[in-house]
Chains A and B, each alone.
Chain A
Amino acid sequence: MNKKKKVMIIEKGTTSLSRLSNGQLSKVFGALLPCNEFGTCELIFRGSCNDFTGDCGLYIPPKEVEVTSC
């Protein structure tokens, strides 16, 4: 009989911070560039304007974030 799960993950979230601390040194200093599904670096966006807190006209579609790093 399968053991009953105590925790069921709905969204697993990011692992990028963990990756930083897991020793990928070359990724740490300046190289970690998150890019979206269109291959565009997330840095170009005004990332602080998540969910329209700012006056920015730009928008990162939800599915694009935290996909991978360049």
Chain B
Amino acid sequence: MIYSRYNFLWRSEQFGYMIYNSLTNCFAQIEKDIFEMLSNVKLGKEINLESIDEETLDIMNSSKIFVESDDDELLSLKFKKYSHRFNQRFLSLTIAPTLDCNFKCSYCFEDPGKKNYMSLATENKLIDFIKKFNNLDFLHVSWYGGEPLMAEKTIQRLTKSLINFGLNYSASITTNGYLLNKKFINQLESLRINDIQVTIDGPEEIHNARRPHKNRGGSFNTIIDNLHNLSVYKKDKRIAIKVRVNIDTTNEQCYADIYNYIKNIDKSIYVYPGFVQEVTTCQSNSSCNFDRFRKASFKISNFKERSILDEYFYPRLSGSECMARHINSFLIGPEGEVYKCWSDVGQQERVIGSITDDSITNFTLMTRYILGADPFDNKDCKDCFFLPICGGGCPYFALKNHYEDGQYDICYIAKDCLQEFLELHYEKKMKAGDNLNLIASANKSVV
């Protein structure tokens, strides 16, 4: 039995002795004598099992604070990830029924010249394509674009056919929200859409400057009206509404304003920052991007200074794989072209194949996405405490780094401030009234 390298042990100035394990995502407060014992074990002293009471030892084992071998734990992690990566019982399709869009956003990475819509023939080819997958239990569709609601009829027709496969079916949609009107909202149930993402970039003036309608100018009020209607509709339904606020250096100060504005519409709407990243010319360390440290401090400031109390700090294990890595996940464009990643949409050189003639045209890119730049082949990642959390980071940028000399930082944002994040999480739980003060009070005298 050894002390796991996935342990993070520290003495908090405020809260006493703590331990966190990134493999199990377990977080505990411990007594001083346990802290001292663990500190010694960490330094190489043998674990004296007889000195540990049974309950404590059980926790140490189940939380993987003590393990037989870290290498075996890494193998378990790899096994879990690969099980997801090569899972063929699940088909996940992102369908862009059009690349046309009714907005002209200042930072959009898609080509505004593309206005093609999926034809009936391509819709039929898509159904034929799905029929070729055997032994499926689950089918999920993410409607994407362009603006998918500009191709509402395609969504309706395809959904009808997709439901007829008789699989466990669910759908989500990423939309700018402008056409998310009452008429479409009333179809959500029949379209099986239970997850909706809308983007709003700030209060009215800022949003309208960044995300104007192509012909009608400001889009803010229409989207807000639609969110009100959606909120009323979802009252008795299991449906997730997420509002992404694209953040860069020019609008970060208004995040709290729009956050509070939307929360006043409906507290259950998830509002979160999406950091705008230039994917063509800029690197992570360029001035146009938020680097990891700035993202972390943005979250901390939201909580401490901007009173966004539900800002979340607790690490989340990377349980599954990104669609880019998953063997049965594809993005289908309006011409039937196939991509592995959303960031590739509309770029001919990033197309991996076509459903219209069932061809793979870029086998290299496909295998790179699935197997290339693999964190389990990278010594730094394999040795990293954070691998269970980040899972190796975004594959799109991992490929950029590995094959194109990119310098993108794809590490977990709290890599350099884990202690602060964990203590903020603890503080939030304390404030929320969780019964966590048992040892905290006991430890007050020692800190």
Residues on A close to B: CB < 8 A?
A: 4-18, 20-21, 28-34, 37-62, 64-66, 70
* B83 contact from A4, A28, A58, Cβ within 8 A: A28
Q: A10 to B164: give the CA distance in the assembly, Å.
A: 45
A9 touches B396 (CB 8 A): no
Asked if B155 lies at the interface with its beta carbon under 8 angstroms from chain A, I say no
Q: Which residue of B lies closest to A62 (CB)?
A: B312
A48–B318 CB distance below 8 A: yes
CB of B412 within 8 A of CB of A51, answer yes
What's the nearest-Cβ distance from chain A to residue B29, in Å? Answer: 5
Q: List 20 A-B contacts (CB under 8 A).
A: A4-B31, A7-B28, A7-B30, A7-B55, A7-B59, A17-B77, A20-B76, A30-B86, A30-B88, A33-B87, A38-B239, A40-B195, A40-B240, A41-B170, A44-B92, A47-B320, A48-B321, A48-B325, A55-B343, A57-B244
Ranked 3 nearest A-B pairs via Cβ = A54-B394, A13-B26, A13-B25
Which residues in B have their C-beta under 8 angstroms from that of A52? 272-275, 295, 413
Which residues of B, 17-39, contact A by the 8 Å Cβ criterion?
A: 21, 23-31, 33-34
CB distance from A62 to the nearest CB of B (A): 4
Binding stretch for chain A, among B224-232, B347-355, B385-393: B385-393
Closest to B272 in A: A59
* CB < 8 Å A-B pair total: 227
Considering only residues 237-256 of chain B, those with a C-beta below 8 Å from chain A are: 238-240, 242, 244
- CB interface residues, B 244-283, toward A, < 8 Å: 244, 270, 272-275, 277, 279
- Count residues on chain B whose CB falls below 8 Å from chain A CBs: 95
With A7-B34, A9-B59, A13-B26 known, 4 other A-B pairs at CB within 8 A are A9-B63, A45-B323, A48-B391, A51-B413
CA distance A34 to B84 in the complex (A): 10
Report the minimal beta-carbon distance from B437 to chain A, rounded to whole angstroms.
9
Whether, in the assembled complex, B223 has its beta carbon less than 8 Å from a beta carbon of chain A, the answer is no
Asked if B102 is an interface residue, CB under 8 A from chain A, the answer is: no
- Distance, CA A55 to CA B273, complexed state (A): 12
Contact of B26 among A11, A43, A49, A65 (CB under 8 A): A11
Q: Name B31's closest neighbour in chain A (CB-CB).
A: A6
Tell whether, in the assembled complex, residue B438 and residue A8 are in contact, meaning their CB atoms are under 8 Å apart.
Answer: yes
Closest to B61 in A: A18
Q: Known: A50-B391, A52-B413, A65-B319. Is A57-B199 also a contact (CB below 8 A)?
A: yes
Are B62 and A18 in contact (CB-based, < 8 A)?
yes
Q: How far is the CA of A5 from the CA of B56 in the complex (A)?
A: 8
Residues of B within 8 A of A50 (CB): 316, 318, 389-391, 412
B397 at the interface (CB under 8 A from A): yes
Docked Cα-Cα span, A58 to B40, in Å, equals 43
The reply to whether A54 and B87 form a contact with Cβ atoms under 8 Å apart is: no
